[in-house]
Amino acid sequence: MSKDGDVTEPAAEAAGGHSARGLLQSTAVVAAMTLLSRVLGLVRDVVYARFFGAGLLMDAFFVAFKIPNIFRRFFAEGAFSQSFVPVFAEYEQQREHAEVKELVDKVAGTLGIVLFVFTAIGVIAAPVLIGMAGVGWLLNPEPDSAEKYALAVDMLRFTFPYLLFISLTALAGAILNTYRRFAIAAFVPVLLNVVLISVAAFVAPGFPNPGIVLAAGVFVAGVLQLLFMLPALARVRMLPKPKWGWRDEGVQRVAKLMLPAIFGSSVAQINILFDTLLASFLVTGSISWLYYSDRLMEFPLGVFGIALATVILPNLSREHAASSNDGFAAMLDWALRVVIVIALPAAVGLFMLAKPALITIFYGGRFTEDDVAMASVSLMAYSFGLLGFILVKVLAPGFFARQDTRTPVRIGITALLANMVLNVVFVVPWLMTGTPGAHAGLALATSVSSFLNAALLYRALRRDGVVTHAPGWGRFLLQVGLAATVMAMLLNYFVPAPVRWLEAELLTSIIWLSTAVLGGGLAYAGVLFATGMRFSTLQLARSSRVTTNSNEEAG
């Protein structure tokens, strides 16, 4: 543990008793910041839909933006963070400040140089990368396919450097999260959305090639996000002085953990590329419909699932470093209860309110009634897998915190293969019959494979004795299931038909949707309360040692 001055305060707090309320508070802080980001993300997508619709330009932009985000999964919050946080937490817990700072300097320098080279290669190889992701555009003889390909290549040369900036930003966020300054890293995506909204609404429409301007906005946002993190690092005395350190012991440990994690992340990203590849063979607009529906599904996933995973990874890492097996198991048990009690009603609500939500948020301008219909079927398919997606986010840290990156990789490969098979099973018959909505098969395959991934992760944790359950799970599941069923019945009965939403004014739609969400949530909470569920149901076992002081700096 670091013993120098003010940087020891967060580490010292870890020696105290456990506070479930503190963990919930930290999760709430991250969720609040993420909520702000997701709201602005929805505003951004509304601007995209109203100004640019779901056609050629946005298909090209979404692919060009997706590629750096795919690589981001293992250079940023994916394999790198999962490998760096446990090692950094161990250093912070057991070593002097100078040694911790040296690790940060060498990791920052090594990662920065590797990323710079990789980014340069990506910019040069933009035609190849777009050709891999959108092979259907190359094989399709229609004129707009060639135009989409050329535009996406030009866009990627602006969006790919975002990988460099956001990965270094993720390194800064991982450091701050270990010191439990969760809010700062959670706030960073707000900057991305503010920049992209401004560019899309006020800058791009005035240019003859607005797509290139949208892509340039991504570049600018990445620079601002990284600069925003630097003062916060300075406050915890962890502002890096980058240096090459490939042979350093700590860097080697991070790299050794990263190799299987990168492979596992690449498996998941191959899956995304495969989805995009298949979608490129579908009618124009399919990629955009999947994007807009995925964005609504990502709202609860980002606000809650990623927030909870962000909080528990450094805390689980501390538990493991302290050899507190009971505390480790208790925290995972607590996290699973919280996931189910929140994710299940969110999934039901997304399914029941798919069309109303899409109409309220995106309908209008160049986003048509047909776009609503097509995006709604993929949103319903995605909603089915929401619980599985969030369970994966919470179960995976149970391996990463123990510096086991191999097991999730093996499980991820199984889920990937299943997803690829399901993609073909669900999409090809749709294509052969000419039935509209083939893109929804891609979403459904992703949802089914998410549950397979979660189930296999859970089984492995149970086998290792890492997950043990406190009493009362049977009653808990019955309460949650009954509450979600009542909520679904009420939404089905009281929510107006989609045709009325299409005819309604925007303000009326907003009131209806807000009332449905609030009313459904109150009904769900009311049934839980009536059946005896209380806050104490979500308390951690007292044996756990990790704390998150409620008075500690949130950001």
Residues 254 and 292 in one domain: no
pLDDT band at 258 (very low <50, low <70, confident <90, very high): confident
Specify the higher pLDDT residue, 439 or 542. 439
Q: Which one-letter amino acid corresponds to residue 456?
A: L
Residue 271 lies in a domain: no
Residues 39 and 161 in one domain: yes
Residues 350 and 442 in one domain: yes
Burial label, 482 (beta-carbon count in 10 A; 0-12, 13-18, 19+): middle
Residues 119 and 213 in one domain: yes
Residue 278 lies in a domain: no
Please say if the pLDDT value at position 313 is more than 80. Answer: no
Please say if the pLDDT value at position 544 is more than 50. Answer: no
Query: Longest C-alpha distance within the chain, in Å?
Result: 69
Residue 98, phi-psi category: left (phi > 0), alpha (psi -120 to 50), beta (remainder): alpha
Of the listed ranges 273-277, 285-289, 362-366, the one predicted with least confidence: 273-277
Residues 509 and 399 in one domain: yes
Q: How many domains does the chain have?
A: 2
pLDDT at 229: 92
pLDDT band at 251 (very low <50, low <70, confident <90, very high): confident
Identify each DSSP E strand in 466-520 by its residue range.
none
The mean pLDDT value of the chain amounts to 82
Residues 337 and 204 in one domain: no
Residues 195 and 340 in one domain: no
Parent domain of 202: 1-8+22-266
Residue the block writes with tokens 């930003």: 169
pLDDT at 435: 66
Quote the CA–CA distance of 275 and 70 in Å, as a whole number. Answer: 12
Q: What is the mean pLDDT of residues 524-532?
A: 93
Quote the CA–CA distance of 297 and 43 in Å, as a whole number. Answer: 15
- Per-residue pLDDT tens over the stretch 196-209: 999 999 999 888 88
Please say if the pLDDT value at position 7 is more than 80. Answer: no
Helix, strand or coil, per DSSP, at residue 367: strand
Residue 401 lies in a domain: yes
pLDDT at 321: 67
Residue the block writes with tokens 């630097």: 230
Please say if the pLDDT value at position 184 is more than 80. Answer: yes
Of the listed ranges 83-92, 94-103, 418-427, the one predicted with least confidence: 83-92
| Residue 485 CB partners (closer than 8 Å, separation 6+) | none
DSSP string, 139-199: H--SHHHHHHHHHHHHHHHHHTTHHHHHHHHHHHHHHHHHTT-HHHHHHHHHHHHHHHHHI
Beta carbons of 69 and 240 less than 8 angstroms apart: no
Residues 431 and 321 in one domain: yes
Please say if the pLDDT value at position 262 is more than 70. Answer: no
| Residue 5 CB partners (closer than 8 Å, separation 6+) | 97, 237
Residue 518 lies in a domain: yes
- Per-residue pLDDT tens over the stretch 8-58: 333 333 333 345 555 666 667 777 777 788 788 888 988 988 888 777 898
